[in-house]
Structure 1
């Protein structure tokens, strides 16, 4: 049995690998020439939910799922690491598609965790927020700019109504 901190570090490593893969290939799948052939199926749901994560074109499942497997192949020697990563990833997948931003959600303690708001924005607007778990790729490449502008507008409206 690996020490708890090694388990945590390897799960984080798997998440970084999967998120990086997902960001770049998800962004590619949203390109107008590709979207209509593959990724459009995923966007049939504007209000995603946990089980919807599996509702995708088989090629999309293969393409985006590869990033999830790369981390397992590189970092998950003992079976316990594999199960820990599967548990973490599935928990995150359901949380991101829950439609709720729960304030006491322990996943919100993870630095740069994207959460459901960013994923929901992507499904409603079909733009930006391409990463699956973290916000750093979207921030680095500016693909979260419309999401940020939307949040600022919402905050202004909330201040006026107080």
Structure 2
């Protein structure tokens, strides 16, 4: 709640006239508690989880022929009932986990210094803070994601998210309840390091979830603005990770790809580590030695085969393709 009763008091305290954005913020938030404003996150997340994936579903239903060439795994065609089942599971987790987590996390938000007061931050400050949040979250998420691909982490937690070997937008937040809680830590670290305004915090939550939905959309659309972001992974990069499934020891990046390149877990760079430097760099031994040996021996040949399979002929039976079983079979076939 703002400590000003009128616009004149606010302008007097700030020492200048309010901008248009600040006037709108004052009129909206002056009589609302900080807790009430923070709980807007619940509404924003509900709208994002429900509406943003509809964009890709709309394209798939009404413009299928036009966008088919941009579908990363055209073999997989889920029915509307399959999509709705995914959405129901996501909403169940939203009601039981995400929503309550937002309600009880307010004290920590106040503790780190997220403010609702005037003046509003400039556009450049907002962009700088959002960039910081993305980098911090991406780096932390990378290591948590690698841990979740250890044998225990995958079998007990992460395999739920990998049920979709060909991901769809609605499946971005489809995960075990414990994974949802754990991955809340990277999302919170950025604002904790560089606390900003509540509006910046809203934008961070919204952009991060929209980005995750795009990454899981299953489409590599040429008009996406993310194609102009350096080191951005995107749907094509992340689809490979889902296709390989439980055997995957590469492409862990949530947003950017620099961690995969630096630590040797990019799907191509990891092969170069082995063949050029004679090093094996998996974070933990999720696969048995035979399967890992097969992965190394296939190198670029296997990568090329996977990409060919992802772009293979259409399959109208609606079944998910790929995953750990297909990965192992492909290696043996070669």
Q: Could you say which TM-score interval applies, normalised by the shorter chain? A: 0.7 to 0.9
* Cα deviation digits, residues 42-89 of structure 1 (max 9, x gap): 111111122212221111111122101111233242111112212221
Out of 221, 234, 258, the residue aligned to residue 102 of structure 1 is 221
Q: Which residues in structure 2 correspond to 1:48-127 (within 5 Å)?
A: 48-126=167-245, 127=248
Answer yes or no: is the 8 Å Cα contact 1:11–1:88 preserved in 2: no
CA 151–16 in structure 1, closer or farther in 2 if over 3 Å, else same:
farther
Deviates more, 1:72-81 or 1:27-36: 72-81
Answer yes or no: is the 8 Å Cα contact 2:129–2:196 preserved in 1: no
Answer yes or no: is the 8 Å Cα contact 1:97–1:119 preserved in 2: yes
RMSD: 2.2
1:29 matched residue in structure 2: 148
TM-score, normalisation: structure 1? 0.87
2:257 matched residue in structure 1: 135
The CA distance in 2 between the partners of 1:35 and 1:141, in whole Å, is 20
Answer yes or no: is the 8 Å Cα contact 2:251–2:266 preserved in 1: yes
Query: Aligned to 1:36, what secondary structure does the other structure show?
Result: helix
| CA deviation after TM superposition for structure 1 residue 145, in Å | 2.9
* Cα deviation digits, residues 14-36 of structure 1 (max 9, x gap): 00111111100100100123211
CA 78–136 in structure 1, closer or farther in 2 if over 3 Å, else same:
same
| CA deviation after TM superposition for structure 1 residue 154, in Å | 5.1
Unaligned regions of 5+ residues in structure 1, if any?
A: 156-162
TM-score, normalisation: structure 2? 0.44
CA 151–15 in structure 1, closer or farther in 2 if over 3 Å, else same:
farther
Unaligned regions of 5+ residues in structure 2, if any?
A: 1-119, 272-299, 309-334
Out of 13, 36, 49, the residue aligned to residue 132 of structure 2 is 13
Number of equivalenced pairs: 156
The CA distance in 2 between the partners of 1:101 and 1:151, in whole Å, is 18
* Cα deviation digits, residues 95-143 of structure 1 (max 9, x gap): 1011111122111211100000111100010211111000000111111
